């Protein structure tokens, strides 16, 4: 299995129907159905907004510290099987506190699962602000999270994109930077390429989540290439949310041809039919990517991670060993 870092993964997006039903029963939260097939059949989306509606509704089953612990533990177990060595895990505290869950339950449950984990995965938490709740709510969330400062390493920006440009969040990102937090932001998933420029120049984002619509602006592409800005691309998500009509139409090959620092990630794997290994398999099969290219994507993921340099070197050596071990092997094995 190719060793990778997963840099774009929403922990709430790992809520598989089985755990959804278990948590709903545990917490007495009504569901429209408890039939796993029927639940999965609802996972068809016309857009980011239509996905988010179901996503926020489903996460109502997460109520207690134990629920967040179980969610993160289940992800780490699955991630281990996907070859993940390093995970920088997004979570959305506002979608829980808005439903009456104390922020402490979110932080303590998730961080305890990471601390107790025995998969060997190096993992850290990145707290995301819901952009459609606006900058004041984001600042309040950062303030509420600071008592748990040692439990997260960075901040991100997610949820509905269009109409909520990154620049709105300048002050909260400035505050986060002053606290020593790492900075990332979703941009140009559904929104225009300008949002990437704003995320870089106004927020100081160190990585761009998605960024696929950057390809519409050649001068931005040149900048991203020259500055080696990491882009956390999520191919199965882009197909599921109709950012692209089909995998064949995905811009990943063009991004690679343009020399961009691309990484491959899963976003919300329980909803988009695939964990990070499935995303790698999908692009390998669709575009016939050679092992050298897959190894390059994996190396990019470690280089773009916020892990210590010594760990990065160790993981990159594992990628080299994977590539050497693949010499002469059937590419599909």
Residues near ligand ADE (CB under 6 A): 10, 13, 48, 158-159, 186, 189, 237, 267-268
Radius of gyration of the chain from its Cα atoms, rounded to whole angstroms: 19
Nearest distance from C-beta of residue 92 to ligand ADE, angstroms: 7
The dihedral of CA 128, 310, 324, 292: what is its sign? positive
66: which 2 tokens?
């134990």
189 is catalytic: yes
Cβ within 8 Å of residue 1, ≥6 positions away: 81, 82, 83, 277, 322
Q: Which does 266 bind (CB under 5 to 8 A by kind): Zn ion, ligand ADE, none?
A: none
Q: Is residue 92 within the footprint of Zn ion (CB under 5 A)?
A: no
What single DSSP character describes residue 94? H
The answer to whether 62 and 96 have CB atoms below 8 angstroms apart is yes
Q: Looking at beta carbons only, is 268 or 277 nearer to ligand ADE?
A: 268
The answer to whether 180 and 146 have CB atoms below 8 angstroms apart is no
Which x/- pattern, by CB under 5 A, does the window 256-285 give for Zn ion? -----------x------------------
1: which 2 tokens?
């299995």
What single DSSP character describes residue 242? T
Q: Is 230 helix (H, G, I), strand (E, B) or coil?
A: strand
Q: Looking at beta carbons only, is 70 or 267 nearer to Zn ion?
A: 267
Q: Looking at beta carbons only, is 117 or 267 nearer to Zn ion?
A: 267
Q: Looking at beta carbons only, is 185 or 224 nearer to ligand ADE?
A: 185
DSSP string, 16-42: -HHHHHHHHHHHT---S---HHHHHHT
Q: Which residue is nearest to Zn ion (CB)?
A: 267
Helices and strands (H and E) in the chain: how many = 15, 8
Strand partners of residue 273 = none
Nearest distance from C-beta of residue 238 to Zn ion, angstroms: 11
Nearest distance from C-beta of residue 161 to ligand ADE, angstroms: 6
CA-CA distance, 81 to 250, in Å (whole number)? Answer: 26
Q: Looking at beta carbons only, is 78 or 186 nearer to ligand ADE?
A: 186
Nearest distance from C-beta of residue 248 to Zn ion, angstroms: 22
Q: Which residue is nearest to ligand ADE (CB)?
A: 158
Q: Is residue 117 within the footprint of Zn ion (CB under 5 A)?
A: no
Q: Is residue 88 within the footprint of Zn ion (CB under 5 A)?
A: no
Nearest distance from C-beta of residue 183 to ligand ADE, angstroms: 16
- Selected catalytic residue, list 189, 190, 198, 227: 189
Interface residues toward Zn ion, by CB under 5 A: 267
Instruction: Name the residues annotated as catalytic.
Output: 189
């Amino acid at each position: 299995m190719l060793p990778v870092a997963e840099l774009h993964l929403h922990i709430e997006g790992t809520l598989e129907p089985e755990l959804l039903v278990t948590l709903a029963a545990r917490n007495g939260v009504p569901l429209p159905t408890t039939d796993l097939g029927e639940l999965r059949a609802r996972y068809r989306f016309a857009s980011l907004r239509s996905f988010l509606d179901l996503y926020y509704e489903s996460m109502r089953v997460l109520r207690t510290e134990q629920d967040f612990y179980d969610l993160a533990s289940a992800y780490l177990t699955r991630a281990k099987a996907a070859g993940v060595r390093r995970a920088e895990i997004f979570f959305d505290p506002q979608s829980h506190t808005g439903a009456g869950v104390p922020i402490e339950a979110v932080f303590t449950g998730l961080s305890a699962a990471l601390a107790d984990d025995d998969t060997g995965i190096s993992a850290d938490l990145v707290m995301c602000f819901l952009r459609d709740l606006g900058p004041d709510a984001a600042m309040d969330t950062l303030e509420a999270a600071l008592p748990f400062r040692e439990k997260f390493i960075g901040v991100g920006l997610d949820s509905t994109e269009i109409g909520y440009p990154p620049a709105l969040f300048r002050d909260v990102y400035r505050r986060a930077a002053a606290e020593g937090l790492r900075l990332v932001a979703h941009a140009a998933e559904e929104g225009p390429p300008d949002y990437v420029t704003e995320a870089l120049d106004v927020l100081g984002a160190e990585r761009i989540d998605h960024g696929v619509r950057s390809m519409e602006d050649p001068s931005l592409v040149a900048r991203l290439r020259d500055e080696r800005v990491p882009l956390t691309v999520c191919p199965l998500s882009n197909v599921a949310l109709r950012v692209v009509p089909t995998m064949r139409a995905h811009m990943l090959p063009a991004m690679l041809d343009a020399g961009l620092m691309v990484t491959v990630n899963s976003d919300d794997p329980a909803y988009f039919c695939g964990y990070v290994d499935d995303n790698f398999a999908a692009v390998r099969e669709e575009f016939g990517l050679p092992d050298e290219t897959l190894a390059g994507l994996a190396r990019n993921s470690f280089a773009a991670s916020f892990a210590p340099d010594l760990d990065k070197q160790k993981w990159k050596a594992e990628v080299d060993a994977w590539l050497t071990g693949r010499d002469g092997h059937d590419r599909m094995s």
